[in-house]
Structure 1
Amino acid sequence: MNTVELAPHRIAGLLAPAVDRVFRAGMLAGREGGGAELSQRYGGPTASGFLVDLRTRLAAPGGTVDGPGFAAITRYRDPVVCRRTVDKQVAHGMLHRGPDGALSATERGAAFLAELYQVHAEVTEELWDGHAERVSRLVAVLGRLLSYALVLADEEGDRTGSAFAAMAPPYEPEGTAAGVLLLNRLGTLRYHRADAHAAAWAAAGHTAGSIAALPAGPERLAIELETDRRAAGPYSVLSADERLTMLADLAALPG
């Protein structure tokens, strides 16, 4: 086995598109399998949009996302549009915004999120039917990755303005379905890489706007490689075999 290919920074780059594919498949299944209808019952996307994005933190009793965390999560969106969207969701009685800008779910918002978790349980069970062992293995390995990522974040000190810090660990009430655990742990891991990517492009002198417009080429490749390096830390907790197995398990899941 060529263990060089399985070094943490290398596997971070290889896993990113696989994580994205499986996560997006699960979220799409949720929208098509009842999520859209659920949203309409609560007022539509205008009322529920950010609740879906922030579900794994705001579903937790007392869960909040502070202002800097929300800014990090939405760093590629127009902040004025985001603020107006939040205004509408507050007006719909789905979100509460504190004096310091922190967001939390209202009682109605929490009810929506409880139903959304159930929708995701049903659709992921169908989407990944026949892959129970693979899903279980991925849930376990993602749990280890996220736990170690939190340890590393604490060691680094100030976590202000980190999307990962705002969203980790995902809320997992007792009895949460394996498919939901997988979906939400993948989503949280994506925030870890998103922070790494933001740090990489910022170090290269870019803004959220300029990096979005940067074409493929040597400069973008250098930023992606630096992203891999910054995102690699959690993967050091896995053996080379475990890294390869994770990649193979994700590749084998339908969606």
Structure 2
Amino acid sequence: MSYAALIRPVVDRVYAGASLTARPAIRAYYEQRGLRPGFEVSFSFGLLARPMPAGALTDALVYTSGDMTGELDQGVATVDAEGAWHLTPLGRELALTAQRTIAEAAEERWGAAPDFLPRLADLVGRLLTHGLTTGGPAFRAVAPVYEPPDAPAALRLTARLGALRHHRADAHRAAWRAAGLTVDEIRALPDGPRRRAIEDDTNRRDEPIYAALTADERLELLAGLGALPN
């Protein structure tokens, strides 16, 4: 099994766990403001650093309706002449709150913050830097991530893991497109040889980002993320 295939579920578990734990607090915050959460929550770590190009956003939302009218109607984002999406001051405030809330939820899940969190954040940071030469459009739109000054290790790690997941997402989209499939076809594709071939191609396309780490460092990252409590 490739390293990309081995670490994918671990990265997903850690990031998704923090995000799910944060969801009630984020929803409560939005309800107090009379607003609905949108893309500024999903892509906070990238949008706080730079506008999101139209093509990157289209790719990132390919499995959804891609409807962005809510963000525009709520005054969370604007679109420039090239189609890039920018946060408004309100959108930036919301994104900062979402980023911080996810990090706080991670600390809650993990209990007393493990002393190896800064090391894990550093390792993932090196992956993101290397991934700028190997990633697709969505990844390049969200990396490097935005981190407030003096950001705690939990925030650095969750933000960087959020961006890392887009390297694989780009790889997966490239794999099923290379196989001649549409988004509806890949969503409906059952398990079997064709599905497994696409997953193998996804792993092949995702694997180069991990060349930034030595073999020992890859094991350290896998073990460290795996040791974080559910």
The answer to whether TM tops 0.5 is yes
Partner of 1:127: 109
Partner of 1:37: 28
Pairs within 5 Å for 1:40-79: 40-45=31-36, 48-60=37-49, 63-78=50-65
Q: Could you tell me which amino acid in structure 2 is paired with residue 215 of structure 1?
A: P
2:217 to 224, 229, 242: 242
* 1: CA distance, partners of 2:139 / 2:120: 19
* 2: CA distance, partners of 1:88 / 1:235: 37
- Measured after TM superposition, the shift of residue 112 of structure 1 is 1.5
- Measured after TM superposition, the shift of residue 41 of structure 1 is 2.5
Q: Could you tell me which amino acid in structure 2 is paired with residue 198 of structure 1?
A: R
Partner of 1:112: 94
Pairs within 5 Å for 1:54-203: 54-60=43-49, 63-78=50-65, 82-83=66-67, 86-153=68-135, 162-203=137-178
Q: Could you tell me which amino acid in structure 1 is paired with residue 82 of structure 2?
A: D
- Measured after TM superposition, the shift of residue 131 of structure 1 is 4.3
Aligned CA-pair RMSD: 1.6
* 1: CA distance, partners of 2:161 / 2:103: 15
Partner of 1:28: 20
**Closer, same or farther: CA 179–31 of 1 in aligned 2, 3 Å:** same
> For residues 66-118 of structure 1, what are the alpha-carbon distances to aligned partners after superposition, in whole Å with 9 as ceiling and x for unaligned?
1101101111123xxx23xx222212111112233211111111112222233
Tell which deviates more after alignment, 65-74 or 130-139.
Answer: 130-139
**Closer, same or farther: CA 241–131 of 1 in aligned 2, 3 Å:** farther
* 2: CA distance, partners of 1:73 / 1:102: 13
* 2: CA distance, partners of 1:130 / 1:53: 26
* 1: CA distance, partners of 2:115 / 2:15: 18
- Is the 2:63–2:183 contact (alpha carbons within 8 Å) kept by the matching residues of 1? yes
- Measured after TM superposition, the shift of residue 132 of structure 1 is 2.3
* 2: CA distance, partners of 1:168 / 1:238: 18
> For residues 132-174 of structure 1, what are the alpha-carbon distances to aligned partners after superposition, in whole Å with 9 as ceiling and x for unaligned?
2232221011011111111345xxxxx6xx1111111111121
- Is the 1:29–1:123 contact (alpha carbons within 8 Å) kept by the matching residues of 2? yes
* 2: CA distance, partners of 1:94 / 1:58: 11
Q: Could you tell me which amino acid in structure 1 is paired with residue 223 of structure 2?
A: A
* 2: CA distance, partners of 1:117 / 1:235: 25
Unaligned runs of 5+ in 1: 154-158
Unaligned runs of 5+ in 2: none
Q: Per the alignment, in what secondary structure is the counterpart of residue 81 of structure 2?
A: coil
Q: Which structure is richer in relative contact order (CA contacts within 8 A, separation 6 or more)?
A: 1
Q: Determine what percentage of the aligned residue pairs are the same residue.
A: 38
- Is the 1:65–1:102 contact (alpha carbons within 8 Å) kept by the matching residues of 2? yes
| TM-score normalised over the length of structure 1 | 0.85
- Is the 1:38–1:116 contact (alpha carbons within 8 Å) kept by the matching residues of 2? no
Partner of 2:199: 224
- Is the 1:43–1:92 contact (alpha carbons within 8 Å) kept by the matching residues of 2? no
Q: Could you tell me which amino acid in structure 2 is paired with residue 41 of structure 1?
A: Q
The aligned length equals 230
Q: Could you tell me which amino acid in structure 1 is paired with residue 168 of structure 2?
A: R
